[in-house]
């Protein structure tokens, strides 16, 4: 018997055995499983998750939270199994490390009658979750692509750095590609930088060695944009291209405010979306307020003219 089948059976057994007493308990436990703070965006997301949990525990004494962070998909699966087996969670808030490996384990949690909120990176099977909270990934790619279409001409060359293979990365790239379709802009190459500045640095070094003529770069994330900018600087090619990242990292926004010509625009994608997900889940656990469905936070274009509105120097991201 496969591990996930054993887990699914154990979860269902727990749910059935504990169903009666659980209804009478005053305290409900919400599990929160998120990636560890391996880069800037996730550092901000971890910060907002912890702040939301502290705030909600003070507001709702009938709620307990268990927060687990994981540096890979395997640990996240183990964390979720442990939450179910040892903490008898009533709800799970999960930002999947990767879509495919987390789909079956989260499906098992849902099948056990536990509320599921999925954040940001969707699962590979649609509609498993009760609530989905995310930034506007289609808008994120479209807003960036529209800027490229408006500011490049037919025959110009661009390279693209994708994130970790997930449904949201697909949504971003598909929307970006659709926005530049028919413009004559050439996408020379497209590789995964995994939303990591070191990986992006290495990918961009490879692009720079392969292509003599690059007019612009879509980094699809500000952590990757930092690595891309460093690679361009080391190659001495700063005057040849500009870079569009995303998510509003304070370092990038400050450079825009200072007039850096390599960073003409940015696109919003707030790490505080995890707080929205946790708070909506908590509200659904303590009241009859309807919170199921999809909650999408729109993406906006940040320019040097409005950058100050998006600059938060005290933020961890």
pLDDT tens digits along 45-64:
999 999 999 999 999 999 99
- State whether 122 and 168 are in the same domain: no
SS3 78: helix
- State whether 22 and 90 are in the same domain: yes
Per-residue pLDDT tens over the stretch 257-292: 999 999 999 999 989 899 999 999 999 999 999 999
Q: Is residue 172's pLDDT more than 90? A: yes
Is residue 282 one of the residues assigned to a domain? Answer: yes
- State whether 121 and 235 are in the same domain: no
Is residue 228 one of the residues assigned to a domain? Answer: yes
Q: Is residue 21's pLDDT more than 70? A: no
Q: Is residue 17's pLDDT more than 70? A: no
Q: How many domains does the chain have?
A: 2
Is residue 103 one of the residues assigned to a domain? Answer: yes
Q: Report yes or no: 145 and 189 within 8 Å, Cβ to Cβ.
A: no
- State whether 7 and 130 are in the same domain: yes
Is residue 316 one of the residues assigned to a domain? Answer: no
Per-residue pLDDT tens over the stretch 59-117: 999 999 999 999 999 999 999 999 999 999 999 999 999 999 999 999 999 999 999 99
Q: Is residue 6's pLDDT more than 50? A: no
Q: Are strands 91-94 and 242-244 parallel, antiparallel or unpaired?
A: unpaired
pLDDT at 314: 77
> What is the spatial distance between Cα 35 and Cα 28, in angstroms, rounded to a whole number?
23
- State whether 254 and 172 are in the same domain: yes
pLDDT at 40: 81
pLDDT > 90 fraction of the chain, expressed in percent and rounded: 83
* pTM for the predicted model, two decimal places: 0.75
Phi–psi pair at 166, nearest 5 degrees: -150, 170
Q: Are strands 266-267 and 301-302 parallel, antiparallel or unpaired?
A: antiparallel
Is residue 111 one of the residues assigned to a domain? Answer: yes
pLDDT at 171: 93
Q: Report yes or no: 223 and 189 within 8 Å, Cβ to Cβ.
A: no
Neighbours of 214 (CB within 10 A): 20
- State whether 199 and 127 are in the same domain: no
H or E element at residue 248: none
Question: Can you give the CATH number for the domain in which 197 is found?
Answer: 3.40.50.2300
Structural domain boundaries, residue 219: 137-268+304-310
Q: Is residue 22's pLDDT more than 70? A: no
Average pLDDT over residues 119-144: 95
> What is the spatial distance between Cα 141 and Cα 194, in angstroms, rounded to a whole number?
16
- State whether 36 and 120 are in the same domain: yes
Per-position b or e across 118-142, b if 16+ CB within 10 A of its CB? bbbbbbeeeebbbbbbbbbbbbbbb
Per-residue pLDDT tens over the stretch 237-262: 999 999 999 999 999 999 999 999 99
Q: Is residue 133's pLDDT more than 70? A: yes
- State whether 63 and 82 are in the same domain: yes
H or E element at residue 92: strand 91-94
- State whether 157 and 174 are in the same domain: yes
> What is the spatial distance between Cα 139 and Cα 261, in angstroms, rounded to a whole number?
24
- State whether 123 and 242 are in the same domain: no
SS3 54: helix
Is residue 298 one of the residues assigned to a domain? Answer: no
- State whether 278 and 254 are in the same domain: no
Model confidence at 188, pLDDT cuts 50, 70, 90, reads very high
SS3 127: coil
Is residue 92 one of the residues assigned to a domain? Answer: yes
Is residue 317 one of the residues assigned to a domain? Answer: no
Mean pLDDT score of the chain: 91
pLDDT > 70 fraction of the chain, expressed in percent and rounded: 92
Check residue 126 and report its DSSP letter.
T
Q: Provide the terminal-to-terminal Cα distance of the chain, rounded to the nearest Å.
A: 44
- State whether 125 and 209 are in the same domain: no
pLDDT at 166: 84
């Amino acid at each position: 018997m496969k591990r996930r089948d054993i887990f699914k059976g154990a979860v269902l057994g727990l749910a059935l055995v504990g169903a009666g007493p659980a209804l009478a308990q005053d305290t409900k436990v919400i599990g929160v499983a998120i990636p560890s703070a391996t880069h800037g965006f996730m550092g901000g997301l971890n910060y907002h998750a912890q702040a939301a949990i502290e705030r909600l525990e003070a507001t709702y004494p009938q709620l307990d939270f268990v927060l687990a962070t994981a540096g890979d998909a395997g640990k996240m699966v183990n964390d979720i199994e442990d939450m179910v087996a040892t903490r008898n969670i009533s709800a799970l808030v999960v930002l999947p490390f990767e879509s495919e490996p987390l789909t079956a384990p989260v499906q098992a949690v849902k099948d056990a009658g536990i509320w599921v909120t999925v954040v940001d990176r969707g699962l590979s099977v649609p509609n498993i979750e009760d609530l989905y909270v995310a930034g506007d990934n289609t808008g994120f790619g479209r807003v960036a692509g529209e800027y490229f279409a408006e500011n490049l001409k037919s025959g110009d060359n661009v390279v693209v750095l994708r994130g970790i293979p997930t449904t949201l990365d697909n949504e971003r790239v598909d929307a970006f590609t659709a926005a530049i379709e028919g413009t004559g802009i050439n996408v020379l190459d497209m590789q995964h930088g995994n939303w990591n500045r070191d990986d992006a640095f290495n990918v961009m070094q490879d692009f720079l060695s392969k292509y003599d003529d690059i007019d612009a770069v879509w980094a699809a994330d500000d952590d990757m944009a930092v690595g891309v900018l460093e690679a361009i600087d080391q190659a001495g090619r700063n005057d040849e291209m500009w870079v569009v990242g995303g998510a509003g990292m304070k370092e990038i926004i400050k450079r825009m405010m200072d007039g850096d010509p390599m960073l003409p625009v940015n696109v919003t994608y707030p790490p505080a979306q995890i707080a929205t997900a946790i708070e909506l889940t908590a509200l659904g656990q303590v009241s009859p307020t309807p919170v199921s469905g999809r909650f999408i936070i729109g993406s906006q274009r940040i320019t040097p003219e409005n950058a100050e509105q998006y600059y938060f120097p005290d933020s961890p991201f």
